[in-house]
A = this chain, B = another copy of it.
Amino acid sequence: MDTIFRHRSIRKYRTTPVKVSIVEHLIRAGSRASTTGNMQVYSIIVTKDKTMKEKLWELHFKQDMVRQAPLVFTFCADFSRFSTWCNYRKANPGYDNYLSFFTGAIDALLASQNLALAAEENGLGICYLGTTTYNADKIIELLKLPKLVVPVATIVAGYPDEEPDLTDRLPLDAIVHKETYKEYTEADIYKIYHQREESDETKKLLEINNKETLAQIFTDNRYTKKDNILFSKKFLKVLKDQGFMENE
Residues of A at under 8 Å CB distance from B? 1, 3-5, 7, 9, 24, 27-34, 36-40, 42-49, 52, 80-82, 84-86, 88-95, 97-100, 102-103, 105-106, 109-110, 112-114, 116-118, 121, 127-128, 130, 133-134, 142-146, 149, 152-153, 167-170, 172, 174-181, 183-184, 186, 189, 192-193, 197, 212-216, 218-220, 222-226, 228-229, 231-233, 235-236, 247-248
Contacts and interface: CB of A to CB of B under 8 A. Distances in A.
29 contacts: A1-B29, A1-B118, A4-B32, A24-B172, A27-B172, A30-B175, A34-B128, A40-B170, A40-B175, A42-B175, A45-B178, A49-B179, A80-B183, A81-B184, A81-B192, A91-B220, A94-B225, A97-B232, A99-B134, A99-B231, A100-B223, A102-B105, A102-B133, A105-B105, A106-B109, A110-B112, A142-B180, A143-B177, A233-B248
Contact of A216 (B91, B142, B176, B248): B91
A39 B218 contact: yes
Contacts of A178: 45-46, 48
Given A5-B32, A232-B99, A146 B86 contact: no
Given A95-B228, A106-B152, A223-B37, A88 B189 contact: yes
B29 A186 contact: no
A229 B222 CA distance: 36
A117 B24 CA distance: 20
Contacts of A94: 219, 223-226, 228-229
Contacts of A228: 94-95, 97, 99-100
Contact of A181 (B43, B176, B225): B43
Contacts of A233: 247-248
Contacts of A97: 225, 228-229, 232
A111 to B, nearest CB: 8
Given A40-B170, A114-B113, A189-B88, A219 B93 contact: yes
Contact of A215 (B27, B38, B89, B248): B89
Contacts of A152: 102, 106
A143 B180 CA distance: 4
Given A5-B29, A109-B110, A172-B31, A189 B85 contact: yes
